[in-house]
Every structure is written in structure tokens, then in C-alpha cells.
Chain A
Amino acid sequence: MYHIISILDFSREQIDDLLEKARRINENRKIERSLEGKQVALLFFEPSTRTRMSFASAVSRLGGTTICVDSVEGSSIIKGETLADTVRVVSGYVDAIVLRHPKEGAARLASEFASVPVINAGDGAGQHPSQTLLDLYTIRQSMPLERINVGLIGDLRYGRTAHSLAQALSHYHVNLFTIAPNGLELPETIQIELQDMGTEICECAEVKDVIRDLDVLYVTRLQRERFPDSATFVNVQQSYRVTPQLLSGVRDHMIVLHPLPRAGEIDPAVDSLPHARYFEQARNGIPVRMAMLTEVMQ
């Protein structure tokens, strides 16, 4: 059975195939109905807006239906049921499970106990493969993925989307530029892993030093709780803010991405610039998740 759990399970060929499938779905005017008569459980044990809604929309566009759990409070987990038992039971009701869970590795565990395909829709600070795939898809809409210069800015220590994207991009021999506040740098274990895969990593003190060399700037959210006090947080947030001034003189084709929601990292004045692609990126969640669902249901 085919599950989608971690971007680390994907070879470059598998990533390319899935992105190509998403592209065909996006361009195909006729409606694909590969989930006709099928039902998908959306088990969301953590809050989510974009991921849950776009999976629901993707299932519906493929002709399928969904049943949902939206919180731990609304499920048997609150009665002490294990996730293993929950997915065994739900497997009997549906044809596939989309799972979001606060614990890292939850989707891997679910795939061991489920008798239907499992798609990981985010497990704690761990993997979120559908986000990574739609990030790659959005970049590929503008340029080939091979040997590009990608800047990762923000909280690179706890930001799972930045980790997974960097891991996926290591298949494409990119140059990574990391720009993070003290204490929020890319974890050492991930740096070692990326370097082993042949990725060049350059740690930069300030984004303005490298912005003109970048093809992609991937912005992640800075969270207040990671800083000792509000003043430090506000200071750091201001110095890491992407503004129209910062983007003046960048490469014409350079794009700015953000997994959203944003909380002040990108000045709204950037939204109207041709470099801003984060809303398109969010929209791309539909064809990418349609491709993932079609893939696991084959």
C-alpha cells in the first residue's frame, strides 16, 4: 500500500512525477473523477485552516466525499484511545486517511496500523510533505529546480516547512543561503544531512547581503514565544521583514514564498509586486493535493 509520510521517502524521480501529475491536473480543463464513490477521512487533531480546507476541496474536485474529525475534543482520543486504535477503526469506514497530529512520527505510526493509504498532513514539528510538494511546485512554475539559489529566512530551527523544503531541494543541487536570528539557525543535524547530500549551505548575517543573488526567498514565521521578551521579538521581526525596498534590484524572476499564515514577516506592500507568489503558492495546494490523493488511491 502506498502512503505519503515524509519527503525523505521520496526520490527525485518520484518528486518530479508527482509535480508533473499536479501540473497536468491543473492544466486539464476536464474534471478528473478518480475518487468517484470513495470516501476520505480528514483526521485533524490539531488546528488547521489551509491544509484541511484544501484537502477537502481536492477530494471533492476528484469526485470523492470526506468525513472529518476537527479536534482531539471531538474524538475518542480524549477518552484515552490510542492513535493506533483510532486509525484501525477509521480504516474500516473510509478508503484513505489524511492525518494531522501534534506528535512527530504520528503519520508513520498510523501507516503501520491503517489498512488504507495514509497521507501526512503535518505531524507536530516534523514532516508536512504536501506543503513541501506545493512549495516545489510553485518554484517550478517559475524556473527549473536545478542549481538555483534559495534563501531561507526566519525561524529555521523550529520551522518544519523550511527543513523539509531544504531536504527536498537537496535532490536538485541547489545553493542554500540561511538567514536566521541567533538561536533559531538551521539545526546542526539537518545541516550535516544536507551537506552529505551535496547541498552548499551559506549562513548569512543579513538578507540584504545576498538578496540580489537569490532566485527564491522562502520566508518563515517568527514566533513571539521563541524570544526572551517582546522588545527583542519586535526588533528581530523588524530586521527580518521583507519590504519593497529590500526587493529593489533583485533578479527579475526572483520569487518570494511563505507557507502562510504570515505575522508581519512580509510587508503587505510586497503583495502587489511580481515577486510575491505566496497566495499562488497557497492556491497550488489544490492540484498538488489532488495529485497526492490520486497517487495513493491508484
Chain B
Amino acid sequence: MTEAPPRQLLVSPIKDGTVIDHITAGEALNVLKILGITGTTNERLSIATNVVSRDMRRKDIVKIEDRELMTEEVDRIALIAPRATINIIREYRVVEKKGVEIPSILIGVVRCPNPGCISNTEEPIKSRFEVVEKGLRCYYCDNLITRDIARHII
């Protein structure tokens, strides 16, 4: 008779901060990019990718220590990880758990792929997209992004 492999934690718990769970497999780094967290920022991070998940088969997890993410920050994640859940941790306990909702307007998150768009010039504006059923519509040039949204994240 074969024994089931022992269950073990891949990433240790954090004392305070945010755990983003149920990220679409392979999108963890893009999630960090959307949140503006890069190698040069100060947050202590744990990232697990392609973790086995009962609901999603495979998922990514990101843990950010000593930083509680705001709703408007995490909602932008919904673009690439619509099933992500956000857990706010204090003293090792989950004090708040929420899903992500796609915002109706995205400002300064996605670059318009249309090279002729005024938002890709030196004008004093940020890119702005309306979230529509088929994808994202540029507020300035009406260009519609229907696929591969992560590639256009600033």
C-alpha cells in the first residue's frame, strides 16, 4: 500500500501583511507588476507558482509582508487573475478576506497598443481604459484590446 505524501507548507505563514491566493497560474509576476512591486522596492515577498489547487488545478500565491493592500490596488489584479482572493493578515490571523472586482475604469495601468494614440506621447495625461464586455477600450483613441491584456500592462 502506498502512503499519501505528507502535507507541507510551501511558504511559511506571515505575521502581518497581505496574501493573494488563487492567482491564475503563471500570473504571479504580472500581479506584482500591476501592484508596482519590483525588485527595487522594499517589500519582503514570498511567491509560489504552479501550486496544486483543488479548485483551479494549478494556482499562484503571493505573500507580501508588512503591507496591507487597498481595495483599489487589488481590483486591478482582476484583469489577469479574476479569481484571486485577498487575505489581510494581522498577528498571523486572517482579519479580512475578499475577492477582486474588475474596476470600470483603469487609469495608468495599461498602455494603449495603438502607436498613433495621443496617450503614447509626452502629453500630461495617463492612459485611461474603460472596461467593456469584450475587453478594454482606450478612452482616447477608442482602440479595443480584446486579448493578451497582461502584455500591455505598464
A-to-B contact residues, CB < 8 Å: 6, 8, 82-84, 101-106, 108-109, 112, 123-127, 189, 192-193, 196
Residue in B116, B117, B118, B123 with the greatest tally of chain A CB atoms within 10 Å: B118
**Would B140 and A108 count as touching, CB distance under 8 A?**
yes
Q: In the complex, A109 Cα to B134 Cα: how many Å?
A: 24
B144 CB within 8 Å of chain A: yes
User: Could you jot down 19 A-B contacts, CB within 8 Å?
Assistant: A82-B122, A84-B124, A103-B121, A104-B114, A104-B116, A104-B141, A105-B118, A105-B138, A105-B139, A105-B142, A109-B123, A109-B140, A123-B118, A124-B116, A125-B116, A189-B146, A192-B146, A193-B134, A196-B134
**Would A126 and B125 count as touching, CB distance under 8 A?**
no
Identity of the chain A residue whose Cβ is nearest the Cβ of B134 in the assembled complex = A192
Counting contact residues on chain B (CB < 8 A from A), the size range is 20 to 34
Q: In the complex, A104 Cα to B114 Cα: how many Å?
A: 9
**Would B118 and A83 count as touching, CB distance under 8 A?**
yes
How far apart are B152's CB and chain A's nearest CB, in angstroms?
A: 14
**Would A104 and B125 count as touching, CB distance under 8 A?**
no
**Would B124 and A126 count as touching, CB distance under 8 A?**
no
B24 CB within 8 Å of chain A: no
Identity of the chain A residue whose Cβ is nearest the Cβ of B140 in the assembled complex = A105
Given A82-B124, A84-B125: A105 and B117 interface contact (C-beta under 8 Å): yes
A192 contacts which chain B residues (CB < 8 A)? Answer: 134, 144, 146
How far apart are B32's CB and chain A's nearest CB, in angstroms?
A: 29
Interface residues of B in 44-73 (CB under 8 A from A): none
Interface residues of B in 102-132 (CB under 8 A from A): 114, 116-119, 121-125
B121 contacts which chain A residues (CB < 8 A)? Answer: 103
Q: In the complex, A36 Cα to B133 Cα: how many Å?
A: 45
**Would B125 and A106 count as touching, CB distance under 8 A?**
no
Q: In the complex, A112 Cα to B139 Cα: how many Å?
A: 12
B138 contacts which chain A residues (CB < 8 A)? Answer: 105
A106 contacts which chain B residues (CB < 8 A)? Answer: 118
Q: In the complex, A102 Cα to B121 Cα: how many Å?
A: 12
**Would A108 and B116 count as touching, CB distance under 8 A?**
no
| 6 A-B pairs with the lowest CB-CB distances in the bound complex, closest first | A105-B140, A104-B141, A105-B141, A105-B118, A103-B118, A189-B144
B142 contacts which chain A residues (CB < 8 A)? Answer: 6, 8, 104-105, 126-127
**Would A84 and B123 count as touching, CB distance under 8 A?**
yes
Contact of A103 among B117, B133, B134 (CB under 8 A): B117
**Would B146 and A83 count as touching, CB distance under 8 A?**
no
**Would A105 and B119 count as touching, CB distance under 8 A?**
yes
**Would A112 and B118 count as touching, CB distance under 8 A?**
no
A108 contacts which chain B residues (CB < 8 A)? Answer: 118, 139-141
**Would A104 and B122 count as touching, CB distance under 8 A?**
no
Q: In the complex, A102 Cα to B139 Cα: how many Å?
A: 17
A103 contacts which chain B residues (CB < 8 A)? Answer: 116-118, 121
Contact of B118 among A6, A109, A189 (CB under 8 A): A109
Identity of the chain A residue whose Cβ is nearest the Cβ of B135 in the assembled complex = A189
Residue in A8, A106, A192 with the greatest tally of chain B CB atoms within 10 Å: A106
How far apart are A102's CB and chain B's nearest CB, in angstroms?
A: 8
How far apart are B136's CB and chain A's nearest CB, in angstroms?
A: 11
**Would B123 and A82 count as touching, CB distance under 8 A?**
yes
Q: In the complex, A60 Cα to B114 Cα: how many Å?
A: 37
How far apart are B35's CB and chain A's nearest CB, in angstroms?
A: 27
Q: In the complex, A189 Cα to B133 Cα: how many Å?
A: 12
Identity of the chain B residue whose Cβ is nearest the Cβ of A193 in the assembled complex = B144
Identity of the chain A residue whose Cβ is nearest the Cβ of B112 in the assembled complex = A105
Q: In the complex, A82 Cα to B118 Cα: how many Å?
A: 11
Identity of the chain B residue whose Cβ is nearest the Cβ of A167 in the assembled complex = B142
A109 contacts which chain B residues (CB < 8 A)? Answer: 118, 123, 125, 140
Q: In the complex, A193 Cα to B133 Cα: how many Å?
A: 10
**Would B144 and A126 count as touching, CB distance under 8 A?**
no
Binary contact readout B139-154 vs A (1 if CB under 8 angstroms, 0 otherwise): 1111110100000000
A124 contacts which chain B residues (CB < 8 A)? Answer: 116, 141
